[in-house]
Amino acid sequence: MFNYQRAISNYKDIIRGEDMMNKEKMIAEFEKMFGYKDEVSVYFAPGRVNLIGEHTDYNGGHVFPCALTLGIYGAVRKRMDNKIRFYSLNMPEVGMIETSLEEFVYQEEASWTNYPKGVFWSFIKNGALGENQKGIDMLIYGDIPKGSGLSSSAALEVLTGIIIKDLYHLTELSMTEVALLGQYAENNYNGMNCGIMDQFASAMGKEGHAIFLDTNTLAYEYAPIVLEKEQIIITNSNVKHTLVDSAYNARRKQCEEALEKLKKVVDIHSLGELSIEDFEKNKDVIEDEATRKRAKHAVYENQRTIQAMAALKAGEIEVFGRLMNESHVSLRDDYEVSSEEVDTLVDIAWKLEGVLGSRITGAGFGGCTVSIVKKEAVENFIQTMVTAYKEKTGFDAECYIVNSGDSARKL
């Protein structure tokens, strides 16, 4: 039987962040693996949860993520040669992976290393690293649940970015540029055509705040998350369907096709520039029904995100929750990136007393939901979500009580 009281206690520990893994522990683990501990530096980059604004970032729309206290830790030291050695405490079975600053090869059997390697490649490709540089030894540990949709890959990319920025003394490089170089790596080295949201949230997060980001211009505003009577809870379906990358890229391609059709009748450069009224007036120029539905989601979701920001600033948490619910329906029916398991989690949540809003978060096809729950209803929420989900699907759900955290940093 799932002990939800213990779960609440454990997740309160997670909220404290560095209680679970800290600088001293990382250095000790680094010494075990690499045989020395002098001049070792430790860094942290957070994962993120997106409260609303899903699949809008690559459509020039708005997003509303916040960084988490969960994330990826990295202990590193520069070497005297050009070798780069990687080791993950989460995947010891992979062993140590070695490459160099002159050799970057995508490896299926050591897939996690493709993210930090991609960032090194991105820095070099974009002329940010400089010449005749030395390599590093790098040990990582992550407490983001695997396959949860909380952006462990982006956190690892931003972690690598701030390590490079610090160790190679790239003082002129901004954190926004670190995020962009991480996105470039994911797009062009790892072949995932993501937008900027995940990397930006990890690089630019602020404790107690969400980020209202216009992905078309990268203009952003920090919005205080004032939840005196509510709690943000992430529920992990523990299901991640295959072919997620290809399905994600297919959705992006459909949006690009819809944009090209709309450009013939409306003067726009992105779907995020369209109002709902303009979309409805011109949508028939998109002949293919599925492609039209993808564009509809991008336009409507962008407007929902703008409304949600206004609602949060006004303290209208119930309105924010309703917009979250509408977001899930759109992601399920128009963008078609949900799954039976995630829909089950959302359906259970919607029926519970004290739940103001619940939706899928992340790229989709499994992963997590994010819910806003009244504090007095949290224990019942966790107990019911776990037991009812198990009964309906046979899978074990996990609930994480989370707070927003700070950006990537050196510890």
| Positions marked catalytic | 198
Neighbour-count burial of 18, counting CB atoms closer than 10 A to its CB (0-12 exposed, 13-18 middle, 19+ buried): middle
Tokens 């303009």 identify what position? 278
- CB atoms under 10 Å from CB of 330, counted, come to 23
Q: What is the spatial distance between Cα 273 and Cα 259, in angstroms, rounded to a whole number? A: 11
Q: Could you tell me if 399 and 233 are in contact, meaning their C-beta atoms sit under 8 angstroms apart?
A: yes
Tokens 């001293």 identify what position? 24
Closest CA to 390 of 359, 338, 344, 346: 344
- Phi first, then psi, for residue 174 (nearest 5°) are -80, 165
Q: What is the spatial distance between Cα 29 and Cα 140, in angstroms, rounded to a whole number? A: 9
Using DSSP bridges, classify how beta strands 83-88 and 136-142 pair: parallel, antiparallel or unpaired: parallel
Strand arrangement of the beta sheet that strand 409-410 belongs to: 97-100, 83-88, 136-142, 65-78, 41-50, 409-410
End-to-end CA distance of the chain: 38
Report the SS3 class of residue 143. coil
* Residue at 153: amino acid letter: S
The residues with which 209 forms a beta bridge, in sequence order, are 224
- CB atoms under 10 Å from CB of 275, counted, come to 11
